[in-house]
Structures are given as C-alpha cells and as structure tokens.
Structure 1
Amino acid sequence: MAERVAVLLASLALLAGCAGPVAGTARPVRLTDGGKAKFKEFYEHLNKAGDEGASQQQKLLKDTQHPDFRQKTCDLRGATIKVEPTWSTLRVDADWAPPGEKAHPRGEVYVVAVTVTLRQDDAVIGSQIGSLHVVLLDDEVYGFAPCLGG
C-alpha cells in the first residue's frame, strides 16, 4: 500500500507541474465571457465526475483528452483528482508542448495555476500546487490526462 501511495503522490507532482516553469510574461487573457465559461465548465465537470467516482472521472478524462494526444490517456488506478484553478493566472502559452513531445498541440493553448488534490477511497492522499494546460480547439476545451508511472 505504501508503494501505491508513493506512486500516486509522485504522479500528482507530475500532474501539477507537468510543464515545469512557464517562460514568458504573464498577461491577462482576453477571452470572451463564453470562452472563460468553457474553461470553468471543463474543471467543474472534471470535479463533478470525480465526486461521482473514479470510473466516471476516468471516462471524462479520456473523452476530453486533446485529439492529438488520445493515445496518451492513463489509468488513475481508482484515484480521483479535484482541480481548483486560480483564474487570475489563466494565460496563453503558445510555445508549450506536452512533456516528451516536440509538437505544439493544435488550438489555443492556455495555462492556469491550480491546486490539485488526489483522493483514494474518500481519503486525501496529497495536494499539490502547480500549473495545468488546456486547449481551446474548434470551440471545445481539451486537456491532458495525468499519467501514473509504472
């Protein structure tokens, strides 16, 4: 069990810091109210799915995985995540590519500071502050599912 918790915590760290420091100057995003609402809905749906259980959240993560990276979905091994964005930090990150990839995802890439909480069997296993990337592509919001090593 301790090994499983260690893997989950390490994965949470990877999820929250999946891009490391983000270069550039922070500037407020000039999204329409509809665009901002789409990002908020994305995370609200993610958290609601987590409240409904690991299989529901896993399905949502798979369904909302960026189309260029569908093969990169992962199993959270029965854990769920809760993501709490700090909306004042939302900004464009036009040069970002997912870790290990050379290609920039299609669409408009944004980054936002988040607090991510990992839960297993209704118990909090860990919490991490970091940044997550989301993409607005064809008027839909897509993310990048967290992956657990091993």
Structure 2
Amino acid sequence: MAERAAVLLFSLLLLAGCGGPVTGTARPVSLSDGDRAKFREYYERVNKAGDEGASEQTKLLKDTQHPDFRQKTCDMRGATIKVEPTWSTLRVDADWAPPGEKSHPRGDVYVVAVTVTLRQEDAVVGSQIGSMHVVLLDDEVYGFAPCLGG
C-alpha cells in the first residue's frame, strides 16, 4: 500500500507540472497585491477542499482547471493533496507547456515551489517538494489538476 501511494504521489507531481529544475532565469514577480491574494486564495481553496474530502477536492480541481485543459483530469483514487507554496519562489514561466502539449496555455503562467502532501483518508502517505504551475487568465487563477496528461 505504501509503495503504491508513493508511486501515485510521484506520478501526480510529475504530471501536474511538478518536478525537477525549471529552466529560465529567476526574476522577481511584479504582481499587484490583489493578484498575489488570488494565488494565495487558490491554494487555500485547494487545501480546504481536501480537508472536506476527496470528492470535494476533485470537484474543485476540475472546476479550476485551466479552460484549455478541462478534458484532462484523473481519478485520484480517494486521495487528497495539501499544497504548501513557498511564495518567495513565485515567478513567471512564459515558456512552459503542460506535459505532452506543444502549446503554451493562454494567460500569464507562473511557477512556484511547493511541498505537496498526499493523504489517503486521514493518513499521510507521502510528501514531496516540487514546483506547480498556475495561470492568471481573465483575472482568474487556474491550475492544472494532478495527472494532467494522464
């Protein structure tokens, strides 16, 4: 069970745009306080939905999926994630495209270092540090649900 959970966590992180080094030059992000608050609120909503259960989080992730990639979702098998961003790492990633895609998502793409913890019911089954991408499009924040491309 623990091995399967670890494989699931690793797969979720890789397929959600979390992973190894992100190419490019780190530059301070020039975001308004309102836009920064939108990013914080997005992750707070993801975590709150996870606290409410797998079905609530799955629904939220689907509802906040980038509009160009709504058809790409996955079954998290009853697991939830907790995402803890390191806000000082937030930066633009203008060249990024989701795994398996050739085109850049519409909107302004940002990447942030995160610690993602995978929970099955009330038990923590894994944790990993990686990076996650979010997009500011039409004044809304969108993400890429785990298993993007899967």
TM-score range, shorter chain: over 0.9
Aligned-pair identity in percent equals: 86
Shift of residue 106 of structure 1?
Answer: 0.1
**Match in the other structure for 1:70:** 70
Task: Tell me the alpha carbon deviations over residues 75-94 of structure 1, each in whole angstroms, 9 at most, x when there is no partner.
Answer: 11100000000000000000
Shift of residue 16 of structure 1?
Answer: 6.8
* Count of aligned pairs: 150
Task: Tell me the alpha carbon deviations over residues 89-127 of structure 1, each in whole angstroms, 9 at most, x when there is no partner.
Answer: 000000000011000000000000000000001100100
TM-score, normalising length: structure 2: 0.92
- In 2, Cα distance between equivalents of 1:5 and 1:31: 36
The 5 A counterparts of 1:1-150 are 1=1, 4-15=4-15, 18=18, 20-147=20-147
Contact 1:16 1:128 in 2 (8 A): no
How much is the aligned-residue C-alpha RMSD, in angstroms? 2.0
Contact 2:47 2:83 in 1 (8 A): yes
Tell me, which stretches of 5 or more residues in structure 1 are unaligned? none
Contact 1:98 1:104 in 2 (8 A): yes
- In 2, Cα distance between equivalents of 1:15 and 1:68: 16
- In 1, Cα distance between equivalents of 2:33 and 2:148: 34
TM-score, normalising length: structure 1: 0.92
Contact 1:134 1:144 in 2 (8 A): yes
Closer, same or farther: CA 77–124 of 1 in aligned 2, 3 Å: same
Q: Which amino acid aligns with 1:130?
A: G
Shift of residue 19 of structure 1?
Answer: 5.3
